Structure 1
Amino acid sequence: MDSIVVGLQWGDEGKGKVVQKLSRSHKWIVRFSGGPNAGHTVYHGNTKMVHHLLPSGTNENFLFISRGTLVDLETLNSEIKEISKIYPDIKERLFVSPYCRVITPIEKWQDGAIEKTKGKNSVGTTGRGIGPTVSNDANRVGIRLFDLFDQNHLKEKVDLLAEISNFGDQSIADELLSQFEKIKDRVLDPKVEGQILFEGTQGIMLDPMYGTYPYVTSTPTIPSFAFYGSGLKSEKYEVWGVFKAYTTRVGSGPFPTEIFGEAGDDLRKRGSEFGATTGRPRRCGWIDLPQLEYASNISNVDHLVMTKADVLNGLEKVGVCISYDKKIIPYDLGSLKPTIEYVKGWKNLESSEFADFISAIEHHVRRRIKYVSYGPSEEEIFQR
């Protein structure tokens, strides 16, 4: 059976490790959205690597960066070079769709300029050029990978994009072509046969249509986009929803269960909550059950996976948001008042108190937690 892995909060839930775990029973790992603004931390044996564009997987998998993904060629080539030290044959198993949108220095510059202009209303983007690349593509002036097969055509498109953006650097086309040459032979839509694992990015609450707009990402994060974003079909699939035992968020936007002061700092240190892509400290808060239920329903999740359960070990009490004063409306989340109850903490994951915590989540979300992850490596996970 095919699988789709998505995050059920605001990203950074630990999806990379879950994909790595599930990759053992799949042939293809497919990225279908996002770009280098996503960071999946994965351990390949004893080697830690942050995947920004390359799908998580092992030497048994074929990897496909499909058309819904935004590609920064410099980042992609850097990752290929890094992971080739672990899997020397990686390029033979990697394919990149020619329909992928290309992030250029123009969009990165635009990203910074737009955020600066917004001032106090900035959304806290990663500065990787994601939003402007999607915007330029919608305006039919963006660059796709297939444009790089024709040098003269590419230079015309780059000149137009630069003129529209008031960007003066004329060396961009040559830089793009230089990077493109390194992966040119891997740019094609492959014939995908065998079981597929679709790897999502960010989290459901960052989806531009179903999340906390305008504090969202620029490409869809819901699992139903996997097929549109990849161009692939699936006869039968299951959705895996990943969430932390608490909640985190990077950047601006509403966060009803956020913890401030010493308690927030303590949780951040316990969980090493700093962005894999930007290094920014993440905002931390208690688990939000209404939010988790909303994201699970929108995603039609079949299985839940809890990560970082061990981070809360040893706390005297643990906060749980059980309700709001009114129904969740994502764009109005900042106006909702959460009801937070405190449950008795647990010593370790064998404690009855932790079992009670699990049961409370499953009862509210009406889905079973199939795996519990308690550390960074692939082996540090158990099935329930």
Structure 2
Amino acid sequence: MVDVLIGLQWGDEGKGKIVDYLAANYDIIARFQGGPNAGHTLYVNGEKVVLRTIPSGVFQEQTLNLIGNGVVIDPVTLKEEIEGLKALGLNLQNNLFISHKAHLILPSHRALDAASEHAKGKEKIGSTLKGIGPAYMDKTGRNGLRVGDILAPNWQDRYERLRAKHIEMLRMYNEVPEWETWEADFFAAIEYLRSLNIVNGEYWLNEHIANGKKVLAEGAQGSMLDVDYGTYPFVTSSNTIVAGVCTGLGVAPSKIGEVYGITKAYCTRVGGGPFPTELHDEVGEKLRAQGHEFGAVTKRPRRCGWIDLVALRYVCMLSGVTRLILTKADVLDNFEEIKVATAYNIGGNETNEFPFDICDAEINPVYKTFSGWDKNISECNSPEELPETFKNYCKFVEEFLQTRLQYISNGTGRDQLLTLF
């Protein structure tokens, strides 16, 4: 069976730490979508490590790691990431595998991303400018280059054809970076990529499943950024909900088991796009400061607000979440009161449904207020030590989402995770 771990908000929920914790129980960790805009943060021996493309199980020696066909790969970033892990004493030669159907991000993809985002002006969607969107566009446009293509004898010809197409597209923009200077690093990284374990991902994975191996599928970004069901058009370019696992790894829906959904105890978002519970006051600033809310990859300050249970129930429904994980609960330790959004008021009408017209609708969240717990829960070593006010908050979230809360992350440390059942 394939269990799944996804973020339930706009990303940055703390997936890296949770996958790292769960990885010991699995034989294989598999990334099923996204690209190097992921920033899965782990703290290993007190040192901060940010994984962008590589699955978060690499710190478990016995665990195999697969970059699935639904991922788009920047060879330069992947090479840097692998070399950085080698410096920490990790050798990925035997436990990292790459699907040959995963698509490649070219230097010209990054140039198109930057030029397009700049041309949008005030309508920017908040792209990380890593070429991910253009790479997915070429994938759906049936022009893309895949990892397996680098093994073909006419690889250079294939590259030049796509490069020529991109040059024509770049002519429509006024401001274009000098992307040709990036190509030397790209081709050096392609040579590096050829030395790695490139496999027929779907057969490789299904064979392991047939042999009884336990698989955890790891998502990137968050459910509210899903290209179909998120806050469109302020979304990513892939399916971040559980449905993306089947197409992103080549496994049947019948193989899906438990679905772990991660949410912060509050809400954050990077870049533009609707955010119904966003706080523009000192409370929002306090959340940002207390939670150190700056992008792991982009370094951009995150927008902050109260937890949105309307959106959370929506994505739990879409993915069939069976186990809930609450992270960064300790950030709320010093708040006198804590609010949760239980409904939206749109044009005088109250609703519990996530609206279609999320971008233009004037949404006023309906809040339920809880008393703060005024205790440093990062010092709690068992659920029994948690304050009653915090337990009441958790019970309400569970009942509203109709999903059991299994883990509570109460600090950045790898061992700061409380198990409720």
- Tell me the residue number matched to 1:201: 220
- Tell me the residue number matched to 2:280: 260
Deviations, residues 285-306 of structure 1 (Å, cap 9, x unaligned)? 0011111111111110000000
3-state DSSP of counterpart to 1:241: strand
C-alpha spacing 1:230/1:259, structure 2 compared with 1 (3 Å): same
Is 1:117 the counterpart of 2:119 in the alignment? yes
Judge conservation of contact 1:66–1:100 (CA < 8 Å) in 2.
yes
- Tell me the residue number matched to 2:74: 72
Q: CA deviation at 1:236?
A: 5.2
- Tell me the residue number matched to 1:219: 238
Q: CA deviation at 1:76?
A: 0.6
- Tell me the residue number matched to 1:246: 266
Q: CA deviation at 1:94?
A: 0.7
Deviations, residues 9-38 of structure 1 (Å, cap 9, x unaligned)? 111000111111110100100000000011
- Tell me the residue number matched to 2:130: 128
Letter in 2 for 1:226: V
C-alpha spacing 1:92/1:121, structure 2 compared with 1 (3 Å): same
Deviations, residues 166-195 of structure 1 (Å, cap 9, x unaligned)? 269667776444212223131123633210
- In 1, distance between residues paired with 2:358 and 2:317? 18
3-state DSSP of counterpart to 1:255: coil
Letter in 2 for 1:129: G
- Tell me the residue number matched to 2:173: none
| Deviation larger for 280-289 or 89-98 | 89-98
- In 1, distance between residues paired with 2:198 and 2:251? 16
Q: CA deviation at 1:336?
A: 2.7
- In 1, distance between residues paired with 2:141 and 2:354? 33
Give the structure-1-normalised TM-score: 0.95
Is 1:354 the counterpart of 2:362 in the alignment? no
Letter in 2 for 1:8: L
Give structure 2 stretches of 5+ with no counterpart: 171-177, 345-349, 378-385
- Spell out the pairing of 1:132-147 with structure 2 (5 A cutoff): 132-147=134-149
Letter in 1 for 2:138: N
Percentage identity across paired residues of the two chains: 37
- Tell me the residue number matched to 1:271: 291
Letter in 2 for 1:164: K
3-state DSSP of counterpart to 1:237: strand
Give structure 1 stretches of 5+ with no counterpart: none
3-state DSSP of counterpart to 1:143: coil
C-alpha spacing 1:269/1:169, structure 2 compared with 1 (3 Å): closer
Q: CA deviation at 1:328?
A: 1.4
- In 1, distance between residues paired with 2:269 and 2:180? 38
- In 2, distance between residues paired with 1:174 and 1:187? 22
Is 1:322 the counterpart of 2:323 in the alignment? no
Judge conservation of contact 2:111–2:179 (CA < 8 Å) in 1.
no
- In 1, distance between residues paired with 2:280 and 2:24? 40
Judge conservation of contact 2:6–2:218 (CA < 8 Å) in 1.
yes
3-state DSSP of counterpart to 1:90: coil
Is 1:363 the counterpart of 2:374 in the alignment? no
For the aligned residue pairs, the C-alpha RMSD in angstroms reads 1.8
Letter in 2 for 1:53: T
- Tell me the residue number matched to 2:368: 341
Letter in 1 for 2:76: E
